[in-house]
Structure 1
């Protein structure tokens, strides 16, 4: 009886072990299936977001039957392949150019996105010191190579133009949170003074303009047309031809596939692609 009892216990343990192994395998298979499905949905979403960029840019050249969209950041919605795609286009001349903006404009933008006065003054000076070709610190603040060394940085002030807005993250005093606030409003493809026709609220404020009044005026101009209407508002004068496009595709589970691009339209009738990519980012975001 003892041998039979021990054998029964052993069999029961083996059954339990096999059951656990099978359950673990089934769970792993399910997780891998869900992961594969999620990755597949995201890949498809990225292709749709890319299509959104192409469509948005096609709407920047108006025709009598299809007036141009506005490049001032207002949202447009496009239904494509059973997905809703939200598009925003901003002319790069509506942003603050890191290589051309004055210290006053830079400081105004920093203040407009929430930086305190002292920090805004220091960072505006540090941006100027990063791009100028001397080792003289800006009046009232700034950061030259000696300051980077004192702070333990393995590099100093660049003393040359910004090649991309991402480079701003290397400037002494900048942090991720403040950079995230600034990124939608800065460029290296703009002008010394932003064009208020295309500027967003913080840029308008930095320019000393009444952002609330100007933005309300834009809303009134667009009130007659539903967002995403084929008319897209009144026919607009052509912009600079260099635009940032934000394309977002709604996916299952409140997720979004996002493509952000900065592109320059090529002349109509020219051979090759209709636009040149200056910056391209893809990713995912929650709703």
Structure 2
């Protein structure tokens, strides 16, 4: 009887030890996961900060008359270094994009076709845009409103976004700053952006690559020389990470 009780007690002790081992193993795994996640978050945050530094360096260059000449707003990349991060920064002028609130609906249809829309889809989107204007609805305030047009798919929206603008104010894109896709879609002449006026609204795209493969990318649409009396020489109109 005593031996039987000792055996049961031994089994109980072994069971408790096994359970504790499992718990400790799970806890150790959880701690390691938390450490890895914290390390990734720290490295990613540093990459984002480096990308933000790329935007700041571009703004600094645009504010300097001597440096501004090298910042050509046609999408060409400028390699920079910030601490241990490699940066690739580019500018695009909003003047090279299609202005949603006044561009011809036919141009919008042609651009949609170039971005992958079917003939029927492009025609319907142009019609919806024309109806929206004729009904006296408020102009587009944010780019994301385009996603709400009937027939707009996510794939088409993603392709259109880099080519459309809420700030250019032009009836047609300026060929000097238009993308290759835009020039082909609207049959625009090929003009050089060197020496051309990019306007006051620019898109700054900044990509940062840090050691270990950590990277970040952000895009800022900025208005240079905002209203008189502004505390800053620019104003951010749109920010994407």
TM-score, normalization: structure 2? 0.89
| Partner secondary structure for residue 53 of structure 2 | helix
In the alignment, is residue 193 of structure 1 matched against residue 168 of structure 2?
no
Cα drift, residue 162 of structure 1: 0.4
- Output one character per residue of 1:215-270: Cα deviation in whole Å (capped at 9) or x when no partner: xx86xxxxxxxxxxxxxxx9634320110111121246645322211101117x97
Alpha-carbon distance in 1 for matches of 2:113, 2:68: 39
Alpha-carbon distance in 2 for matches of 1:92, 1:132: 25
Structure 1 segments unaligned to the other structure (5+ residues): 135-158, 219-233, 283-287
Give the 5 Å matches for 1:208-287: 208-209=187-188, 214=190, 236-251=195-210, 254-266=213-225, 272-282=231-241
Give the 5 Å matches for 1:1-287: 1-61=3-63, 63-64=65-66, 67-133=69-135, 159-190=137-168, 191-209=170-188, 214=190, 236-251=195-210, 254-266=213-225, 272-282=231-241
Which aligned runs of 4 or more in structure 1 are off by greater than 6 angstroms? none
CA contact (8 A) 1:62 1:235 kept: no
CA contact (8 A) 1:96 1:187 kept: yes
Alpha-carbon distance in 2 for matches of 1:281, 1:64: 29
Change (3 A) 1:254 1:132: farther
CA contact (8 A) 2:48 2:215 kept: no
Cα drift, residue 7 of structure 1: 1.7
| Partner secondary structure for residue 114 of structure 1 | coil
CA contact (8 A) 2:54 2:87 kept: yes
Change (3 A) 1:105 1:47: same
| Partner secondary structure for residue 103 of structure 2 | coil
Cα drift, residue 161 of structure 1: 0.5
Alpha-carbon distance in 2 for matches of 1:75, 1:64: 18
